[in-house]
Structure formats: structure tokens, C-alpha cells
Amino acid sequence: MRLNLKLSHKALILVAVPLAFELLFVATLTYLLNRAEYEIRRAEHGKAVVAGANSILNGFIKSAMCLYMYRWTEQKAFKQQFEDASAAIPVELQSLKIMLRDSPDQKASLERLQDITNKTTTLLGQASVFTAGGENARAAHIVDIKEELEGTTAELATDMRSFIKDQESAEQLDPQAEARSRLMVQQCLAVGVAFNIMLAISLAVFFNRATTRRLQVLMDNTLHLARGEPLNVPVVGADEIAHLDKTFHDMAEALAEAARRKQELVAMVSHDLRTPLTSVQAALTLLEAGVYGELSDKARKEVTVAESNTTRLINLINDLLDIEKMEAGKLAMNCQNIPLAPVLEKSFEAVMAFADQHKVEMDVPGTDLQVYGDSDRLVQVLVNLLSNAIKFSPPNSTVTITVEATSGWVTVKVIDHGRGIPAGFRKAIFERFQQVEPGDASEKKGTGLGLPICKAIIEGHGGLIGVESEEGKGSTFWFRLRSAVQSAPESGKPGLE
């Protein structure tokens, strides 16, 4: 059964599964360590109990020995040692009882040990009294309790050894159990590390198969869309990647539909608008020339305005068609070695009437330089740049063209003394439909397509185009082309000044 998990669910699995294993692993290790510590504490407790019992037995033996030595030598040092050893026995017994207060199975042995200890302590006390008396008292009574003291001491030693043996059996740490516990910890560590590695690899494979591979499909789709190729089969699933892939397919279909409608619009503009407008322009030209009879001044004025607007519409359609060709990579270029002078002359002639209308002078130099390019397309570029310079130049000013040759490149500049271009617009004006001022489209009759077309043509020649400007002092539009001696299109890019 296939699980349709979202990316958030998969991320939760990637975090929760290792976390759950780590918690389980830590809990297991904690249990094993606590068990080992418990066994060690049992062993230490058993050793302490055995040491306490041995201390009591040694105390009795030392008391008896010191008592006998005092009897025969009457040295007070032995008596003091006897008293110290006797006083320490109850203290050791009380410590032993405290250590065994949580061991009910040792209660009977402890009570028996305490009875014998009390009895032996009493006999030692009596013996000390008799020993402290005169010679007759010692002679009369020491023999009476000697046998009883020896028997009690022997019984105490026997019970104490039995108690110690039982305690050692009950409390000692089993070496095999200790080895098994150590082995369990080692095995748990080894299994935990191995499982953790396997879990990490499994989750990585799961994530790679469930996410990375499907993301690669999306990346491939972007390349296919850019190249106009069919997309991959839609990604299966219900997560965000599947939804994104579906949205991408829908977008690709929408783009294909938009491209189809755009082609229809271009075809309609090219055939259904430009051809009739060209006929209308020709008819208006004939009317203005008086071919169909003389017109009144008012009628001639209206015909002139209509012809101008028709020409503007035809130019706009031509610009739109050029933009479409640029985007499709079909902007034809017939590049060859050409002299630059005829290009400048044709451009000047094309805008001469426009310059007279705006009362702007033009300064076009003569030159014998040659460039590698398409003559008609370069005329189109210069006409656009000159028209813009004339439109934005004040009356009675001059638009100047300069030509320079540097390191295998030829730079052409169009210089005006208009209002200039703000720094923030010097790159934007080479994008489609961009105007420096909102009113330029109506006041200056601009479309915002001329400079983008110039940029496409110059870059199609392998050159560069740009602008230098200062607000209030004018602008200098320039483009740079290969000189005729560098006719190979792969000769490199021109350098910037």
C-alpha cells in the first residue's frame, strides 16, 4: 500500500523515528547501568556486613585475650585494652543491625548473633569482676566461669562464622552475573550503533526516493519548458511536490495557450492590420498630394494628421513584429564588411524632416571607417537614437554624431542637450515599454520599444549599447561594433570605457 504523505509528515518521520530510537536506546542503557550499579552496591554492602561481623568476633577474641593477660600479668595496659575492646562490641553490633535493617531474611541470624553476643559480653564482664578481686576471689570463681566462657566464645565464633558465610552467600556479586551484565551492555551498544547506522541509511534512501528524485523531475521540467520540449509525466502523490508539479503542468499549458494566442495576434497584426493601414497611408498620401483633386486647407491639415497617425501605427506594428522576432530568435541579420558613411547618411536623411519640425540642427561627420554589420539594421538603430535625441532636445540645439575607432572596435555616439536621464532609469530604458516620464508616451509619441529593439540589434552584432547622461545637461547614447578587419562573429566582446 502506497502512503500519500506530505512533506511535513515525512519531515516528522525523519525526526521522530531517530528520536524514538535514541530514547529507547538511552532507556535500555540506563536500565543496564542501574542494574550493574545495584549489583556493585550489593557487593559493597555485603563486604561491609562481613567486615562488621568480623570486627565483633575479633573484639570478643581481643577482649578475652586481654582479660587473660591481665589476670596473669596484672598490667593495667591489658585491662584498658580489654575495656576498650568490650566497649566497641555494642557499637559494632548496633552498626551491624543498622546495615541489616532492610534485610528481613537475616533477622533470625542477627537475633541469634545478638543473644550470643550479649551472653558472651556478660560472661566477659563477670570475668573482669572476678579478675579485679583478690587472689582468693580469682581462685574461687575464675575456674567456675572459665569453661562457660570458653564454650560461649566457641559458640559465638561458630555462629559468627556461619553468619558471615550466609551473608557472603547472600550478598556477594556473582562473577557470571557480572560478566553477563557487562556482555549485555556491550551487545546493546553494538546493536544500537548498527541499528542507528541502518536507520540513517534507510531514512536517507526513503527521503531520496520520495523527495529528491521527484524534485529532480521538477528541475527537468523547468529545462524542458525553457527549451519548448514536452514535460515529464506528472509526479504521483498527494504531497506538496505533487501539487507543485501539477501547478507547473497547468502553468506550462497556460503558457502554451498564451503563446498560441500570441502567435494568432501577431499573425493578425501582421496581415489584418498592417496591410490595410499601408493602403490607408498610401491613399492619404495621394490625397495630400492632390492626386484626387485639390483640398481645402482644413481638409489638407486633417489629412496630414491622419497620415502621421497612420505612419505611427505602422511603425508601432513593425516594432511589435521586431520584438516578436527577437524573442523567437528570428531577427534576421545580414552581416558583412560595410562602410559606415552610407549608414550615417541614410539615417540623417530619414530624420532630417523630423529635425526641421523640432527646429533641431544635426551634425553628422564624414568617415572612412568600416564595420562588420547589417547596413539596414544599423540604420534602424541610428534612426531610433536620432529620433529620441531630436524629440528630447530643446529648439535651436544641436544633435551630434561622433565616430571613434579603438582596438578593433568602432564606437558611434549620438549626443543631445536635452533634459538628461535619471540614474535609476539608465538601464531600465532598454527594457520594453519603459518611459522616463509617464507623459512621454502621449507628449513625445513614444512606444517604449525603440531602445529595446536597438539593444537587440546591437547585441545581435556582438556589440554593446549604453547611455551616459547628466540630468539637465543632455545624454550620450553609444553603441560599439567590430571594425571590418574583425569579421569573425566570435572575436569577443567590446570593452567598456
CB 29 within 8 Å of CB 168: no
Between the alpha carbon of residue 327 and those of residues 97, 273, 313, 493, the distances in Å are 101, 21, 21, 22
* pLDDT digits 0-9 by tens, 396-432: 999 999 999 988 899 999 999 888 888 777 777 877 6
Residue range 366-385: mean pLDDT, rounded: 90
* Domain ranges within the chain, ordered by starting residue: 7-173, 240-312, 331-482
Task: State how far the Cα of 479 lies from the Cα of 402, in Å rounded to an integer.
Answer: 11
Q: How many helices (H) and strands (E) does the chain have?
A: 13, 7
pTM: 0.47
When mean pLDDT is compared across 73-77, 139-143, 148-152, 240-244, the lowest value belongs to: 139-143
Q: Which residue, 402, 404, 429, is CA-closest to 415?
A: 402
Under the banding of pLDDT at 50, 70 and 90, the label for residue 345 is very high
Looking up cell 570463681 gives 141
In the CATH scheme, what is the homologous superfamily, with its name and number, of domain 331-482?
A: Histidine kinase-like ATPase, C-terminal domain (3.30.565.10)
Residue 351 clears pLDDT 50, i.e. is over it: yes
pLDDT band at residue 315 under the 50/70/90 scheme: confident
pLDDT tens per residue, range 72-93: 777 778 778 777 877 787 787 7
Q: What are phi and psi of 479, to 5 degrees?
A: -140, 150
Q: Which helix (H) or strand (E) holds 481?
A: strand 474-482
Q: Cα-flanking dihedrals φ and ψ of residue 79, to 5°?
A: -65, -40
> What is the distance between the alpha carbons of residues 81 and 73, in angstroms, rounded to a whole number?
14
* Chain segment 113-136, per-residue pLDDT in tens: 777 777 777 766 666 665 555 554
Task: Give the mean model confidence (pLDDT) for residues 458-482.
Answer: 88
How many Å apart are CA 167 and CA 99, to the nearest integer?
Answer: 12
| Angle at CA of residue 103, ends 101 and 107, nearest 5° | 80
Distances in Å between the alpha carbon of 287 and those of 290, 308, 318? 5, 13, 24
pLDDT exceeds 70 at position 167: no
Average pLDDT over residues 441-461: 72
pLDDT value for 448: 67
Query: Of the ranges 214-218, 402-406, 493-497, which one carries the lowest mean pLDDT score?
Result: 493-497
Residue 412 confidence (pLDDT): 93
Confidence of residue 438 (pLDDT cuts 50, 70, 90): very low
What mean pLDDT comes out for the span 34-40?
Answer: 74
Q: So what CATH class is 7-173? A: mainly alpha
* pLDDT reading at 177 higher than 70: no
Average pLDDT, the chain: 75
C-alpha cell at 289: 498630394
Return the pLDDT at 481: 92
Q: 213-227 vs 240-267: helix axis angle to the nearest 10? A: 0
Q: State how far the Cα of 338 lies from the Cα of 372, in Å rounded to an integer.
A: 6
> What would the pLDDT profile of 47-71 be if each residue is shown by its tens digit?
777 787 778 778 777 777 776 777 6
Query: In this predicted model, which residue has the larger pLDDT, 26 or 418?
Result: 418
pLDDT (0 to 100) of residue 191: 79
